[in-house]
Structure 1
Amino acid sequence: MTVQITSLKPGEYAPAPDAGLGTLSTGKGNLPLESVEVEANITALTCGVEVTQGFRNPHDVPLEATYIFPLPDRAAVTAFRMEADDRVVEGVLKERGQARQDYDRAIARGQRAAIAEEERPDVFTMRVGNIVPGERVTVRLTLSQPLPYEDGAATFRFPLVVAPRYIPGTPLDDLAAGDGVSADTDAVPDASRITPPVLLPGFPNPVRLALTARVDPAGLDLTEMRSSLHVVSQEDGVVRLLPGERLDRDFVLRLAFDASSALTLVPDGETRRPAPTAETGADTGADGVDAEIDGEADGDGTFVLTVLPPARTDARRGPRDVALLLDRSGSMTGWKMVAARRAAARIVDTLSSADRFAVLSFDSVVERPLGVDAGLVPATDRNRYRAVEHLARLEARGGTEMLQPMEEALGLLEDPGRERVLVLVTDGQVGNEDQILERLGSRLAAVRVHTVGIDRAVNAGFLGRLAGLGAGRCELVESEDRLDEAMEHIHRRIGSPLVTGLSLKAEGLEVVAGSVTHLGSLYSGVPLTVYGRYRGASRGALTVHGLREDGGPWEQRLEGRPAEGDAPRAIWARAHLRRLEDRYAVGEHALEHDIVAASLRHGVLCRFTAFVAVDTRVVAEGGPRHRVVQPVELPSGWEAPGFAAPIAAAPMAASAPAVFSVMGGEGTLMAGGGPAPGAAGAPVGDAAFGGGPFAVPSGAPRGPMFARPSSPRMAPPAPPVPHSLDIVRPQLAAELARLREQEALAAPERRRYLADLGSRLAALAAYVGGENELSALARDLSACEGDPAADVDALWRRAVERLTALSGDGTSAGTTGSAAGRPRAQRASFWKRS
């Protein structure tokens, strides 16, 4: 097969020359990470990847190396292996606290060991301990991921660098949780685990990068491949990076396929279980819950349903309320700010006179070009012109305080009689993702949320989660030339979907209750892919039902086709775990056991588990005497901060940790072993950008910032929330107030209002895990519009009664996570367990 590969931009991208403000090395040699190799095997719309990281100890004492690195946010990590000194040790997936204890115990005994942990959907930490002098250790991760598809093209995106993130909040005054350069705060309790040190621009000895993607269309018609931002070669279906590329941007490959609707049924292969070891004994995580998913048997196979959208009808679109949020923080400097302004302006230009809108630009403060008290304004020519004029003047500055503008935007989108849309344009580089989800998750479920991620190393995991909660779409833009194509997709998504209210009906196939991933809606040019579990034989059919734009019914029936492979089960398990983790983040802490059990059952890594590999041979008596945190590249396109004066890295004692970064409020170059950071008044946030992840927090202790203590430093988990409804009680109270205000509606309008209320309550019920009373009420209200025999007055009285009981007074909800009034910041997060 020979397919021409073309660039997304005119010309080719040459690697940056080895020039810059300086170089860095330890007093005993180079940094430990020597190489990163990525082998991707793309088969139709799925991809299997093996990531190989090569570490070498250039010192004369045993070494522990830490590397904070990215992986695709939708990928399922299913295997882990450590190789050294002709020995191969297979990793075991365990509950995260247990895995950490096993690793620390092995390191203290002098055994070679490695551990891989997930910090965010796309941020991971690798630790490799007791690498003896001169030794090379290789660790391999195996993962599977789906390829998103729309407008005739699938996209393989592989991130290569963890970009600096803005860290809000008050610093915690206990030991740091990780080895990064930012202090943990009450808003981001694990900030030190997601902020690796950053290399100076022009570092002359970058990590050797090799990336190969082998493409098998598997019967689909592959017409074109396009690459972005990297210099590649292509031969007979194999794409390779040319030597010299750096780990400073995402690798993106777009494949032009002709997709089709299909239902694939994949029976399970061998069940994955964590193997017992001599030290840990028999597995304790899966027995008793081995075949359980949310209380249901998880089935015998995985189905993959792909549905193409129907042709667009001529139905008239309803009026919309659109809140547009534009991130103008310091990390958006350069081409990203230009692209963000263009994207936001194009969204404003597509609004019609029937729409209302608001524009909020934010960094550390929120600005409204149409007036602070204006709220939503009609999308007249004059108002749209004023908004575009404001957008054209924006420049990057300040920190990324995202929570407040999102709260303000949601406060504007409260009219249930109009389609409510929130559009967020940002790079997503914030650390307080969990705080935002906890505060806003239930409210996002009642609004359609679209995210536009602009960066060459975008925080895709967080932006994808936001879009998923709001049943919207996430578009990633890695270059200005990609913007026009991406905005065409966004414009269609802001418009009404072609088919809504999707549901599945099985024929001859027993679908496991609660296992189906989010159905969402059908949009023009965007096929819908749904995963789920089934019991029994791999045969049967599924029919997809929904409503067209004009209110008419729509359905498509697909016969199942048996297939083989492990990827569908792993991809489904990762999506299922992500859904449970999101529910945990908004307060359902009792789900921890279910998350761990599902992760171990399906052999897929999550934030509650970790892969650990321990060699039985003792190689370093007394454990490692030197620790190094591997610095990462500054993402391509990011502007480096100014430097007061370059400082040469001094030789360090064998026991000193080596951390190299650009740090300090004035842009001072720091190296491990140098003066302790944290002068009084130093900001938390983007100091280099007017507040950001290069800053060292005020009063931050030096030790935990630069070296990882050998003992675990995870605090006990927060106690389970006794009433999961607490998180949505303010929204239920608001719905009750609106319901009472509509008492005077005529019967037809009452019926429509109750149906709309039912859809919103269903979203809230789903977000808190399907609370029985709320789910039943939502189901009955939603059905009344299509049931002429329904007693609307009785339903109205029932809705008032149940919402009164479920909402309470609403005064105690929604305050979790706020730092207001706290005498001191406190730590309580699930990834801090010992």
Structure 2
Amino acid sequence: MSKPISETQLAGKKKRGKKPGRVEQGGSVLWSYHGMMANSCGLLTFQKEPVPLKSVEVELEVRDHVATVVSTLNYENKEDKPLEAVFVFPLPGDAAVCHFSAKIGQTQIVAEVKEKQEAREEYDDALSSGRQAFLLEESEQSPDIFTLSVGSLPPGESASIRLEYVTELAVQADEGLRFCLPAVLNPRYQPQGSGGSEGGNVQVTSVPASLVPYSLSFSARVSSPRPVSKVESNCLLDPLQYLNTEQTQTTVKMAAGHKFDRDVELLIYYKDAHQPSAVVEAGQASSKPGTLMGDPVVMLSLYPEFPQAVMSSDASCGEFVFLMDRSGSMAGSHMKRARDTLLLLLKSLPMGCYFNIHSFGSSYEHIFPKSVEYNQKTMKEALKKVEKMGADLGGTEILEPLKHIYSQPCIPSQPRQLFVFTDGEVGNTKEVINLVKQNSGSHRCFSFGIGGGASSALINGLAKEGGGHAQFITGTGRMQPKVMQSLRFSLQPAVVDISVEWDLPKGVSVTALSPPITSLFQGQRSLIYAQLTGQSPEASEGCVTVKYSLAGHPSQNQLHFSLKPAEDTGLTVHRLAAQTLIRSLEMEERERRGQEDEGVKKKKVVELSVQSGVSSAFTAFIAVNKGSSEVIQGPLVRRIVPTPNLIDCGMYHFPSCGAHMMHTDHNLHHDCAHSTSSSCKKKSMGGIGPKSKSKINKFFARMKPQKLTLRSHGAGHNPLPHSEMPFHDNLMRMEAQPYCHCGISLSPRDLLLPLVSLQKASGCWVLDPDLAAALGKTSEELEKPKPASVNQEVWATVLALIWLHGFKMDAQEEWELLATKAVSWLQAQEASCVTECVEAANTVLGCTVQKDALGL
């Protein structure tokens, strides 16, 4: 299947009189979207065409929270005709691509950044003249998609393409720093009737993940002022190798034989991490003083600490709007985890707030016509509808439901908080982000990218422009901890009137390169880039103060820093600063479309991109081999290099009892294909016991063991047969070490949800057989020790809190908010025998939880 060529491009080629020199031939599997999905099923057959890309080598260098990535793509033409290889592939959406070069034999060609149309014409001219040329360009619709064209590769010839970019590492809910090397480029759904310039309809050529025809080698070097405590990955890694006794420098490599068939995720943990810091980087000696590249640039990492008096009382109001992706690509475990997460969210909302749940695919739906007050009746009605949600709404058209949400008037004194859950496969990314920015004054947007292939440009862009926070949930990672962190952020009072003030030595001035800060969250990083102009005395110091108002209280955080440039930083900070400024200017240019001064910001973007050597939507990297006198004869055959795809007809395929490793203790996590693996059928849940009409049994009956942990039991181990055990013993057996039939144990955290599902909106629990089952007891075992003077709801609520603190401290971040609501309910009851209840509950559950630990 050929690379799509727009009418504009085709007309341009005819106008320039290009020679007809290419034979357009298919490369392999194709996903194609032109308004609607062109193929009824999407993923076609693998055509087994030769793929000239043989291997990808990636070297990652992490310095504190900034990553430099060097990728080398090795091509070889084993055919008898000259080739043009085209590779559409993903990169992190906030990456600053800053170097592109090609090596053919002993000849090294370094690419230049030029205006995009000029670069395309130069590339076409080179191919028409029989010369080798290389073109790297960013999609005009989504900054996380790039196209690499390798032109005129003669028979038997090899070429190595070197691509370098720098990116900031996002802070996760558990304070780890996340690096993702995207491999999966799922199709970007282009809504019907959506406009856009050339390149708007992104065609993705892909194969099933197991058939990726090129290999990946990956190595990383991590250094920080603080010790590196651990590095985890969704891929098998060799053990960490520390380079010094302080353990501040380490290297790690991916185990040999890895296929580039999934996004490679690395989580890096430092001891005593995330302290405010500043890095001053000297300007480029060859650049003119007064320019961004010629002057020093400072990068500030701020972690605001809010006054405890303000933070001790979370907001009890707000309008919480949940927007859930129900497109076909969300099928399987993604949809199940989304439903479970909505359950946890709804149980954790504060009384007195408002809420609604919207969902979308090719069309969109909502549970209530408008947001309703949160109470037991509305929560119960919402949960019934959430239970029935499936990935059955077709494509991924997020723009229209967002417009509908924004058309709803805001509720007075109820700040709107928007939570967006999606696998991020849209073709109109910039249009969606622009809409969120236009409405940023009326809400905060918290975004969640689900699964491999989620668009980092979309997820990060929604949160950045919406003043919220972005999270990514990949592999077997649990969605709930990250979502609950964002809910806690949304419950924090909104920070307003944010300003940044600089105190610098005389003769030094500052130019802000980052857009104004629109949101601050307790302990979360905010990055500021600024250009420093002028001369500063030796050993001089600067100071930056961030001032803001929080719940009516004026506050500030201050950071003093040395103006002495750091050593060995290269131009990393300058390039990140340039990329930040470029993205801001691109956004402003989109906002000016149709106005008289349209194109002013575009011109500035092109100038800055060329000056800094950092890619943009309006420029491209172009390299032409002008040194070779040999003219390549004959028509070119185009080969499309495929990316891995996890989707087949809208359904996600999981490896049948395949596994991936989490470094460093090499615990094995396991995704099990229950629909295809006979050893993991429903009989694996036989340990649940006889059928029951209770809600707890219904929960387990529908629950599939999607997240599994493979434990080492030695050769020949068979799990204990627990199908013959009584139901309550069975539940406790599952709590200790549940298994599916193939000997793989279920995560005990999944047993948290049955108890959560029984909590009332007010925060209390009811003493009934369902609660007894969730706690692994009989009704008689719970009722008998109840203090006589205590009502049943108080007793049931104390039991639930004791169980959470006694057995579920590893998942505290998931249940903390709903436990706080339960404690508030208990305090409102003014029960006189709480101490007696706590002691009795500890006895019946076998715990030793202190009353103070409950917050009572």
- TM-score after normalising by structure 1: 0.66
Query: How far 1:488 sits from its partner (Å)?
Result: 3.1
Indicate which of 421, 440, 445 corresponds to 1:425. Answer: 421
CA distance in 2, matches of 1:223, 1:561: 30
Cross-structure match for 1:266: 281
Cα shift at 1:88: 0.5
1:126 counterpart residue number: 148
Structure 2 counterpart of 1:692: none
2:636 to 616, 619, 625: 625
Question: Using the alignment, how far apart are the partners of 2:494 and 2:445 within structure 1?
Answer: 17
Q: Describe the shift of the 1:631–1:362 C-alpha distance in structure 2 as closer, same or farther (beyond 3 A).
A: same
The structural deviation recorded for 1:22 is 7.1
The 8 Å contact of residues 436 and 465 in structure 2, kept in 1 or not, is answered as no
**CA-CA distance at 1:436 after TM superposition:** 2.6
Contact 2:97 2:615 in 1 (8 A): yes
Please give the alpha-carbon distance, in whole angstroms, between the structure 2 residues aligned to 1:21 and 1:234.
Answer: 41
| Distance (whole Å) between structure 2 residues aligned to residue 441 and residue 549 of structure 1 | 24
Q: 1:490 is matched by which residue type in structure 2?
A: S
Q: Which amino acid aligns with 1:242?
A: A
Alignment of 1:447 onto 2:453: no
Correspondence for 2:367 = 369
| 1:606 maps onto 2:616 in alignment | yes
Query: In the superposition, relative to structure 1, how do residues 189 and 132 fare at CA in structure 2: closer, same or farther (>3 Å)?
Result: closer
1:622 is displaced (CA, Å) by 4.4
Within the candidate set 354, 357, 374, 1:356 is matched to 354
- Tell me what 2:216 maps to: 209
Say if 1:383 and 1:543 are closer, same or farther in 2 by CA, change over 3 A: same
In the alignment, does 2:202 pair up with 1:146? Answer: no
Contact 1:64 1:128 in 2 (8 A): yes
Check whether the contact 2:83–2:638 (CA below 8 A) recurs between aligned residues.
Answer: yes
- Structure 2 contact 436–466 (Cα < 8 Å) conserved: no
1:333–1:229 CA distance, 2 compared to 1 (3 A): farther
The one-letter code matched in structure 2 to 1:238 is T
Residue 587 of structure 1: how far off its partner (Å): 3.2
Counting aligned pairs with the same residue, the percent is: 26
Q: Please list every run of 5 or more consecutive structure 1 residues that lacks an aligned counterpart in the other structure.
A: 1-19, 171-184, 274-289, 643-834
Task: Indicate which of 102, 110, 117 corresponds to 2:130.
Answer: 110
Residue of 277, 298, 304 corresponding to 1:303: 298
Distance 1:234 1:490 in 2: 32
Matching of residues 717-796 of structure 1 within 5 Å = none
Shift, 1:245, TM fit: 2.7
Match of residue 165, structure 1, among 184, 188, 207 = 188
When normalised by structure 2's length, the TM-score is: 0.64
- Determine the structure 2 residue equivalent to 1:388: 383
Give the corresponding residue for 2:262.
Answer: 249
Equivalent of 2:501, from 499, 505, 519? 505
- Matched residues in 1 for 2:67 and 2:327: separation? 35
For residues 634 and 491 of structure 2, what CA distance do their matches in structure 1 show?
60
Structure 1 residues 127, 67: closer, same or farther in 2, change over 3 A?
A: same
> 2:55 is aligned with what amino acid?
S
Q: Separation in 2 of the partners of 1:619 and 1:309?
A: 61
Deviation larger for 394-403 or 220-229: 220-229
Deviations 1:465-493 (A, max 9, x none): 11111111111110343323312321222
Report Cα offsets for 1:668-726 as digits up to 9, x if no partner: xxxxxxxxxxxxxxxxxxxxxxxxxxxxxxxxxxxxxxxxxxxxxxxxxxxxxxxxxxx
1:196 aligns with 2:216: no
Task: Give the secondary-structure state (helix, strand or coil) at the position aligned to 1:324.
Answer: strand
- Which amino acid in structure 2 is aligned with residue 630 of structure 1? V
Are the counterparts in 1 of residues 152 and 632 from structure 2 also a CA contact under 8 Å? no
Which whole-Å deviations, capped at 9, do the CAs of 1:582-617 have from their partners, x for residues lacking one?
Answer: 222333432110111111121111111111111111
- Separation of aligned partners in 2, 1:251 and 1:637: 21
CA separation in 1, counterparts of 2:276 and 2:458? 29
Q: Residue 497 and residue 22 in structure 1: after superposition, are their counterparts in 2 closer, same or farther (change >3 A)?
A: same
- How far did 1:434 drift? 2.9
Tell me if structure 2 keeps the 8 A contact 1:196–1:629.
Answer: no
- 2:85 matches 1:65: yes
Give the superposition deviation at 1:639: 5.6
Provide the residue aligned with 2:657 in structure 1. none
Name structure 2 gaps, 5 residues minimum: 1-42, 243-249, 654-856
| TM-aligned CA deviation for residue 500 of structure 1 | 4.1
Q: Does 1:458 align with 2:454?
A: yes
Cα 1:243–1:23 change in 2 (3 A) is farther
Code of the residue aligned with 2:130 in structure 1: it is G
Identify if the C-alpha distance between structure 1 residues 336 and 323 changes in structure 2 by more than 3 Å, giving closer, same or farther. Answer: same
| CA distances 1:314-365 after superposition (whole Å, capped 9, x unpaired) | 2452621121100101111112112222233333222212211111111122
Matched ranges for 1:40-59 at <5 A = 40-59=60-79
1:627 maps to a residue whose letter is: R
Distance 1:165 1:316, change over 3 A: closer
Conserved in 2, the CA contact under 8 Å of 1:231 and 1:245? no
Pairwise CA distance, 1:157: 1.6
The AA in structure 1 aligned to 2:112 is V
Out of 169, 179, 203, the residue aligned to residue 156 of structure 1 is 179
Q: Is the 8 A contact 1:439 1:586 kept in 2?
A: no
Name the aligned partner's letter for residue 556 of structure 2.
W
Larger Cα Rg: Structure 1 or Structure 2?
Answer: 2
What is the identity, as a one-letter code, of the residue corresponding to 1:387? A
Partner Cα distance (1:640, 1:360) in 2: 22
Partner of 1:283: none
Distance verdict in 2 for CA 1:355–1:210, change over 3 Å: same
On the 8 A contact 2:284/2:295 being kept in 1, the answer is no
User: 2:555 aligns to what?
Assistant: 553
Q: Is 2:241–2:252's contact at 8 Å kept on the other side of the alignment?
A: yes
Over residues 172-193 of structure 1, what are the superposed CA-to-partner deviations in whole Å (9 max), with x where a residue is unaligned? xxxxxxxxxxxxx63675244x
Cα distance change of structure 1 residues 392 and 466 upon mapping to structure 2, 3 Å threshold: same
CA distance in 1, matches of 2:215, 2:423: 27
SS in structure 2 of the partner of residue 225 of structure 1: strand
Deviation at residue 268 of structure 1 after TM alignment: 1.1
Structure 1 residue 529: deviation in Å?
Answer: 2.1
Q: Counterpart amino acid of 1:468?
A: K
Paired residue secondary structure (2:284): coil
**Cα drift, residue 116 of structure 1:** 0.5
Distance 1:437 1:403, change over 3 A: same
Which residue matches 1:573? 578
Indicate which of 540, 543, 550 corresponds to 1:541.
543
Tell me what 1:226 maps to.
232
Q: Quick one: which amino acid aligns to residue 642 of structure 2?
A: P
- Partner SS, residue 285 of structure 2: coil
Give the root-mean-square deviation of aligned CA atoms. 2.7
Q: 1:270 to 1:118 in 2, by over 3 A?
A: farther
CA distance in 1: counterparts of 2:236 and 2:486, whole angstroms = 25
1:136-173 per-position Cα deviation (integer Å, ceiling 9, x unaligned): 11110111111122543211122112111212124xxx
Using the TM superposition, give the Cα deviation of residue 229 of structure 1 relative to its aligned residue in structure 2, in angstroms.
4.8
Instruction: Give the match's secondary structure for 2:195.
Output: coil
The answer to whether the 8 A contact 1:340-1:426 is kept is no
Deviation at 1:24, TM superposition (A): 3.6
1:635 aligns to what? 646
Q: Secondary structure, in 3 states, of the residue corresponding to 2:447?
A: strand
**Counterpart-to-counterpart distance in 2, 1:603 and 1:21:** 39
2:750 maps to which residue?
A: none
Q: Which amino acid aligns with 1:168?
A: P
Q: CA deviation at 1:94?
A: 0.9
Aligned mates of 2:648, 2:229 — CA distance in 1:
31
Task: Give 1:36's aligned residue.
Answer: 56
SS of residue in 1 equivalent to 2:184: coil
Matched, 1:615 2:625: yes
- Indicate the SS of the match to 1:199: strand
1:624/1:117 CA distance change after superposition, 3 Å = farther
**Residue 402 (structure 2) aligns with:** 406
